[in-house]
C-alpha cells in the first residue's frame, strides 16, 4: 500500500525555497556560487554530526556531549600536530580511536548501569569541555606546523576539480537509478504496490537535475567542497546501515519497544553500545572538520553543536522518542517486516 503524500510532507522544502528566495531578493550575493559553496561547507559539518546523532536517537537515547566532544577530539589532533610534530594522519587516527573508546565507555555505562543517556552525556558535556580547555591550555592551537598545509588543514579548504565533480555526479546518478530499479523490482516480487513508471522517471529526472545543478554551481567557485564529499560518504554509510542491515532494524525495534526487542532476542545492550561507538567516530570526524574550518583549535570550537545536530534530526523527521525516522524509511521498514512473514 502506497503512502499518500500531503502538503505537510513538502512543508520544509517549501519553507526552504521561500527563505532562499527572500534572501536572494534582499541580497543577490546570497545566491552567488561563492556564498552557496561556503554554506555547503558549513552545512556539511553540522549534517555530518547529525548522522551520528541519528544512530543514537533511533534506539531512544540522546547525546548532549557531542559538541564538547567535537572540540576535545579536534583539539587533541591539533595539539599532536602543532606541539608534538605528529603527522596529521596519525594525529587524526589517534583522536578518532580516542573518540570511539570514550563513546564506547559511555554506551556501556548507559546499558549496564541503567543510567539514562541524558545524565551520562550531560556529565560528558561538562567533563569534555574541561578536558578540552586543559588539552589546548585554554589558548589557540593552530592546525598546521611551520605554515605548511596538511591533511588536517585542507578538510574544509580543498575542492574537487570540475571534471572530477561531473564524473562523480554521473556515477551517483547511475547508482541512484540502478538502486531505484532494483528496489522497484524487489517490491514487485513481493507483491507490494509500486509507483507508476512515469512518476519514477520524473523523480529520477529531477534528482539528476538537482545533482548536476549542485555541481555546476560549485564549479563556478572552486568545485565541490571536500567537506561535502565527506558528508556524502558518511550519509551513504548511515543510510545503508539503517535500511539494509540487521543492525538498522534493531535500532528501530529498540526505539519502538525495547521490552519487545529484548523478548525477540535482539542484543539490545550490544546494539546501543555500537551506536554510541559509531557516534564517537563521527564526533571525531566532525571535530576535524570544524577545527579545520575555524583554522585553529580554540575554546569555542564545538559550542552548542549538539543542539544543532539534534534539531537537524528532528526537523528531518526523527522522533526524539526513538523508533521512527523519515516517513519513507518507516514505510520501507514496515514492508520489509511483512516480507519475512
User: Which residue, of 203, 224, 245, is where some domain finishes?
Assistant: 224
Structural domain includes residue 5: no
150 in the same domain as 42: yes
On whether residue 82 sits in a domain, the answer given is yes
Both 177 and 293 in one domain: the answer is no
Does 195 lie in the same domain as 85?
A: no
3-state helix, strand, coil in the chain (%, to 5): 75, 0, 25
Residue 211: give the domain boundaries. 159-224
Please identify, among 224, 247, 268, the residue that sits at the C-terminal boundary of a domain: 224
In a domain, 47, yes or no: yes
- Are 163 and 239 part of one and the same domain? no
195, 300: one domain? no
In this structure, are 281 and 238 located in the same domain? yes
DSSP class of residue 264 equals T
Q: Tell me, what's the pLDDT at 1?
A: 43
Residue 75 lies in a domain: yes
Let me know whether 164 and 147 are in one domain: no
- Per-residue pLDDT of the chain (341 residues), as tens digits, is 445 666 666 777 788 889 888 988 998 888 899 999 999 999 999 999 999 999 999 999 999 999 999 999 999 999 999 999 899 999 999 999 999 999 999 999 999 998 999 999 999 999 999 999 999 999 999 988 776 778 888 898 899 999 999 999 999 999 999 999 898 888 888 888 888 888 888 989 999 999 999 999 999 999 999 999 999 999 999 999 998 899 999 999 999 888 999 998 999 999 999 999 999 999 999 999 999 999 899 999 999 999 999 999 998 888 888 777 764 444 344 343 333 32
Cα separation, 264 vs 58, whole angstroms: 18
Count CB-CB contacts under 10 A for residue 155.
25
State how far the Cα of 196 lies from the Cα of 295, in Å rounded to an integer.
50
In a domain, 331, yes or no: no
Residue 135 lies in a domain: yes
Domain boundary among 181, 209, 224: 224
In order of 69, 75, 90, 287, the CA distances from 246 in angstroms are 28, 35, 33, 29
Q: How far apart are CA 197 and CA 14, in angstroms?
A: 25
Residue 210 and residue 291 share a domain: no
Are 126 and 266 in the same domain? yes
> Is position 68 within any domain?
yes
Q: 178 with 294, same domain?
A: no
Of 99, 104, 101, 107, the closest CA to residue 69 belongs to 99
Q: Based on the domain organization, do 125 and 270 belong to the same domain?
A: yes
Residues 109 and 234 reside in one and the same domain? yes
Inside any domain, residue 289: yes
pTM over 0.75: yes
- In total, how many domains does the chain have? 2
Amino acid at each position: 500500500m502506497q503512502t499518500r503524500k500531503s502538503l505537510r510532507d513538502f512543508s520544509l522544502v517549501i519553507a526552504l525555497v521561500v527563505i532562499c528566495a527572500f534572501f536572494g531578493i534582499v541580497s543577490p550575493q546570497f545566491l552567488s556560487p561563492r556564498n552557496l559553496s561556503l554554506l555547503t561547507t558549513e552545512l556539511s559539518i553540522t549534517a555530518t554530526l547529525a548522522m551520528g546523532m541519528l544512530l543514537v536517537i533511533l534506539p531512544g537515547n540522546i547525546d548532549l556531549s557531542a559538541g564538547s566532544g567535537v572540540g576535545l577530539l579536534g583539539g587533541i589532533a591539533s595539539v599532536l600536530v602543532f606541539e608534538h610534530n605528529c603527522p596529521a594522519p596519525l594525529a587524526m587516527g589517534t583522536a578518532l580511536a580516542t573518540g570511539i573508546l570514550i563513546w564506547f565507555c559511555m554506551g556501556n555505562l548507559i546499558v549496564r548501569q541503567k543510567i539514562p543517556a541524558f545524565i551520562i552525556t550531560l556529565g560528558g558535556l561538562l567533563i569534555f569541555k574541561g578536558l578540552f580547555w586543559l588539552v589546548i591550555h585554554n589558548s589557540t592551537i593552530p592546525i598546521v606546523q611551520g605554515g605548511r598545509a596538511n591533511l588536517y588543514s585542507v578538510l574544509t579548504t580543498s575542492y574537487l576539480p570540475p571534471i572530477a565533480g561531473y564524473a562523480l555526479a554521473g556515477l551517483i546518478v547511475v547508482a541512484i537509478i540502478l538502486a531505484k530499479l532494483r528496489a522497484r523490482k524487489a517490491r514487485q516480487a513481493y507483491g507490494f504496490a509500486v509507483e507508476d513508471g512515469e512518476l519514477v522517471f520524473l523523480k529520477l529526472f529531477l534528482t539528476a537535475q538537482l545533482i548536476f545543478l549542485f555541481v555546476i554551481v560549485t564549479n563556478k567557485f572552486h568545485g565541490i567542497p571536500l567537506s561535502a564529499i565527506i558528508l556524502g560518504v558518511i550519509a551513504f554509510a548511515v543510510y545503508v546501515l539503517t535500511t539494509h542491515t540487521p543492525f538498522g532494524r534493531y535500532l528501530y525495534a529498540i526505539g519502538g519497544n525495547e521490552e519487545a526487542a529484548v523478548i525477540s532476542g535482539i542484543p539490545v545492550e550490544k546494539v546501543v553500545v555500537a551506536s554510541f561507538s559509531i557516534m564517537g567516530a563521527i564526533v571525531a570526524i566532525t571535530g576535524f572538520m570544524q577545527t579545520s574550518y575555524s583554522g585553529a583549535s580554540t575554546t569555542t570550537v564545538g559550542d552548542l553543536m549538539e543542539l544543532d545536530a539534534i534539531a537537524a534530526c528532528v526537523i528531518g523527521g526523527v522522533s526524539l522518542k526513538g523508533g521512527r525516522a523519515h516517513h519513507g524509511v518507516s514505510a520501507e521498514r514496515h514492508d520489509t517486516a511483512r516480507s519475512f512473514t
